[in-house]
Structure formats: structure tokens, C-alpha cells
């Protein structure tokens, strides 16, 4: 297993100091029950083995609004990653990676993966990969506190090539960050994005009433209880504004369905430099 990291990782403020992310474990447990986008090649069994080890005795949770949302979110990001790889993207940077196994499931010759996450969760993940005998030689691990680390230089220090068309993935992350941190993060990713690079992200949208509001409120209670509170919920128009001010624009040709956009699942493309 190979990788690279920052010289002085510090504890991320979105999780309990000294502990891996509890919400990342819960997502891994839930994902074991979801159908995944199939591909020829890769190592889906290794992804499932890692997720099973991470989940341990955690229950996946009963069917309901949150499970349906997570299933739809997983499918959206699976499709985006597979589509990018089939389109010739040679680098994928997963920000707030948690226990995401897509670098295993969708491994492809010549593709380099970068995982950025807080040091405690990343250390736990790497220990599990080693103990399970799962090879992750195509992954560069970048431990970082997103509240204090400039993500662009951290990626470059880990071997990221800013000349290559890339995909940046921010799944289930931005809700835990303050707005100024989100702006700095997305601006930093744009600074190292080659022309044609894409950004896939999920945001928590302030839907009014119905299943979306119920799901969001239940989620907020759950993550607060494990010490990882939700910090940023956006009004529908704020997501587009967020992209615009950080150097990205919605990819109208390859974005989510109307329902996906309403759920905060967004695909963007690097906007031309001013």
C-alpha cells in the first residue's frame, strides 16, 4: 500500500479528536445494502470486504427517507465516477473520503486516486486495508484538516498533476463544514483543476416540508449525537452561487436529474479562467 501525505496533519474540527469518523462508519454500513454501478474490472469484493470490516456490528438501519437518500446519493456518485473514467479522466481526488471504496471498486490501469481526509479516520482506514491484505497502491493518502489546510498545495505535494483532466468528489462532506471553509476548499480545488475537470458534490438543501425536511432534521439529530454536527444548509439558489464564486459552473449536459438537484446532488465543470 503506497501513498503520500502532508508533513504536519492536525485534527479536523468536524470529528471528535483522536477518533475516526462515526458518520463515515455508518455510511459504510448502509452502503452494504445498496446496489452499485457495475463495471468490468476493479475489485468490488475488496470494497465490500473493507465496508464489512468497518461496519462491524453496526446495523445498516431500517428503510426510510435517509436510507433512500443515501442509496440515491451513492448511485449518483458511482455514475459520475464511472462516467469520468470511461471519458478518460486520469486523476480522481476524493475529499473527505472516509471509508469510500471506489478507488478499489473502480480501479483502472493508469488512473491515480487521491484521498483527502482527517488524520484519525484515514489512519484507521489504512490500518484496516493493511490488516485485510487489500492493496491500495494507486491511492495517495493526504491527511488534512480542511478547516486549516489549503487543499491545493496539499494535493500537489502528494503528486497531483494539475495538467491532467481530473474529477473531484465531495460526497457527504460540505454539510459538516463552515461556509467560509467550503468556499476556500472549492476555490482551492479549482486552482489545481485542468481545463475540462469536473466537480461532483452533495450539499444539504433547505427544502420546505415533506420527506426532505424530515430527512434533514433526523440527520441533524443523528450526527449531533455522535459529535459531528451539521454546519451548513443551503437555500436552493445558494448552491449555484457557491459554484460561481469558487470558479465552477453547473454542468448542464451531465448533471443530476431534477430530483437529484433538488436533493443537492450536483455535477459542475471548471469554469474558464477570467
Domains and CATH numbers, the chain: 22-270 (3.40.50.150)
pLDDT at position 3, please?
Answer: 38
Sorted by sequence, the CB contacts under 8 Å of residue 259 that are 6+ apart come out as none
**Where is pLDDT greater, at 274 or 89?**
89
Residues forming beta bridges with residue 244, ordered by sequence position: none
> How many angstroms separate the CA atoms of 267 and 261, rounded?
9
Average pLDDT of the segment spanning 47-52 = 98
Question: What H or E segment, with its residue span, contains residue 119?
Answer: helix 119-132
Lowest model confidence (mean pLDDT) among 105-109, 230-234, 254-258:
254-258
Q: End-to-end distance of the chain based on CA atoms, in angstroms?
A: 40
Is a pLDDT exceeding 80 seen at residue 69?
yes
How far, rounded to the nearest angstrom, does the alpha carbon of residue 219 sit from its chain's CA centroid? 17
Q: Supply the angle between the helices 65-86 and 210-225 in degrees, to the nearest 10.
A: 90
Is a pLDDT exceeding 50 seen at residue 230?
yes
**Where is pLDDT greater, at 12 or 120?**
120
How far, rounded to the nearest angstrom, does the alpha carbon of residue 133 sit from its chain's CA centroid? 24
Count the neighbouring beta carbons within 10 Å of the beta carbon of residue 46.
20
**Where is pLDDT greater, at 7 or 187?**
187
Strands 139-143 and 166-170: unpaired
Question: What H or E segment, with its residue span, contains residue 220?
Answer: helix 210-225
Residues 171-202: tens digit of each pLDDT: 999 999 999 999 999 999 999 999 999 999 99
Average pLDDT of the segment spanning 65-75 = 89
**Where is pLDDT greater, at 6 or 255?**
255
- Rounded to the nearest 10°, the torsion over CA 82, 61, 52, 138 is 30
- pTM (predicted TM-score): 0.87
- Out of 2-16, 94-108, 195-209, 251-265, the most confident range is 94-108
pLDDT at position 45, please?
Answer: 98
Average pLDDT, the chain: 86
Percentage of the residues of the chain whose pLDDT score is greater than 90: 65
Is a pLDDT exceeding 70 seen at residue 53?
yes
pLDDT at position 234, please?
Answer: 85
In the block, which residue shows the cell 459529535? Answer: 227
Count of alpha carbons within 13 Å of 116, Cβ hemisphere only? 30
Residues 163-177: tens digit of each pLDDT: 999 999 999 999 999
Q: Which residues of 112-121 are buried (b: 16+ CB within 10 A; e: fewer)?
A: bbbbbbbbbb
C-alpha cell at 30: 448502509
Is a pLDDT exceeding 60 seen at residue 255?
no
Is a pLDDT exceeding 70 seen at residue 11?
no
pLDDT at position 16, please?
Answer: 59
Average pLDDT of the segment spanning 126-149 = 96
Residues 75-110: tens digit of each pLDDT: 999 999 999 999 999 999 999 999 999 999 999 999
Lowest model confidence (mean pLDDT) among 108-117, 175-184, 223-232, 244-253:
223-232
Average pLDDT of the segment spanning 249-268 = 73
**Residue 167 main-chain phi, psi, to 5 deg:** -120, 130
Amino acid at each position: 500500500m503506497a501513498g503520500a501525505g502532508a508533513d504536519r496533519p492536525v485534527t479536523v474540527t468536524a470529528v471528535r479528536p483522536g477518533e475516526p469518523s462515526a458518520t463515515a462508519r455508518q455510511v459504510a454500513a448502509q452502503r452494504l445494502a445498496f446496489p452499485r454501478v457495475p463495471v468490468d474490472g476493479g475489485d468490488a469484493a475488496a470494497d465490500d470486504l473493507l465496508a464489512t470490516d468497518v461496519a462491524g456490528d453496526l446495523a445498516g438501519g431500517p428503510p426510510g427517507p435517509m436510507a433512500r437518500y443515501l442509496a440515491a446519493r451513492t448511485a449518483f456518485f458511482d455514475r459520475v465516477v464511472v462516467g469520468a473514467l470511461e471519458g478518460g479522466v486520469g486523476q480522481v481526488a476524493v475529499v473527505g473520503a472516509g471509508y469510500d471504496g471506489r478507488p478499489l471498486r473502480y480501479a483502472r490501469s493508469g488512473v491515480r486516486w487521491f484521498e483527502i481526509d482527517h488524520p484519525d479516520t484515514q489512519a484507521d482506514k489504512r490500518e484496516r486495508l493493511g490488516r485485510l491484505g487489500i492493496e491500495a497502491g494507486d491511492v495517495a493518502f493526504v491527511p488534512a484538516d480542511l478547516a486549516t489546510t489549503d487543499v491545493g498545495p496539499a494535493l500537489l505535494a502528494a503528486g497531483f498533476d494539475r495538467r491532467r483532466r481530473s474529477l473531484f468528489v465531495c460526497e457527504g462532506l460540505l454539510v459538516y463544514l463552515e461556509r467560509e471553509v467550503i468556499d476556500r476548499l472549492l476555490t482551492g480545488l479549482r486552482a489545481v483543476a485542468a481545463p475540462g475537470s469536473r466537480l461532483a458534490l452533495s450539499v444539504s438543501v433547505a427544502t420546505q416540508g415533506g420527506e426532505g425536511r424530515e430527512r434533514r432534521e433526523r440527520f441533524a439529530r443523528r450526527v449531533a449525537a455522535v459529535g459531528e454536527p451539521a454546519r451548513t444548509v443551503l437555500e436552493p439558489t445558494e448552491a449555484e452561487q457557491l459554484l460561481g464564486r469558487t470558479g465552477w459552473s453547473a454542468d448542464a449536459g451531465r448533471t443530476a436529474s431534477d430530483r437529484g438537484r433538488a436533493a443537492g446532488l450536483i455535477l459542475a465543470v471548471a469554469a474558464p479562467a477570467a
